[in-house]
Amino acid sequence: MEHESKEDKRKRLIAELDLLIGKAEEQGFWLYCAITNEWLTPVELSEHIRDGEYIWAASAWEPKDPAHTLSIWEGEAARLEKKVSPLKTKLEGFKPKVKVDEVEK
């Protein structure tokens, strides 16, 4: 079995990424990478690849609808705000008898 040269591997990865980018563009999706927790538009990922960056296996990237994900996150943020706001208000009026850093000593 022949071993793939570094350059051949690089070319293969770029070809696989180009196919993935094309599919994402057709669907109107962006590409999400769980490794870096990063969202890139197809154009942005193409630019990074052109600059020699992010040349990873296509499986590292997942085409996703950013609007749908943003909607989910906004719902989560609203639910968290309902928890945070009352506690924050209560804490603003609270004066501890002992400073927190004194308790840690």
Taking each helix axis as running N to C, give the angle between helix 42-50 and helix 6-27, from 0 to 180 degrees, rounded to the nearest 10: 160
Name the stretches of the chain with pLDDT < 70: 1, 98-105
Residue 61 phi/psi, 5° resolution?
-115, 140
pLDDT at 102: 59
Q: Quick check: is 69 in a domain?
A: yes
Q: Quick check: is 1 in a domain?
A: no
pLDDT at 91: 84
Q: Quick check: is 22 in a domain?
A: yes
Q: Which two tokens stand for residue 97?
A: 């008898």
pLDDT at 1: 44
**pLDDT (tens digit, 9 = 90+) per residue, 53-79?**
999 999 999 999 999 998 998 999 989
Domain count, the chain: 1
Give the number of other Cβ atoms within 10 Å of residue 28's Cβ: 11
Q: Quick check: is 59 in a domain?
A: yes
Enter the pTM of the model: 0.70
Q: Quick check: is 81 in a domain?
A: yes
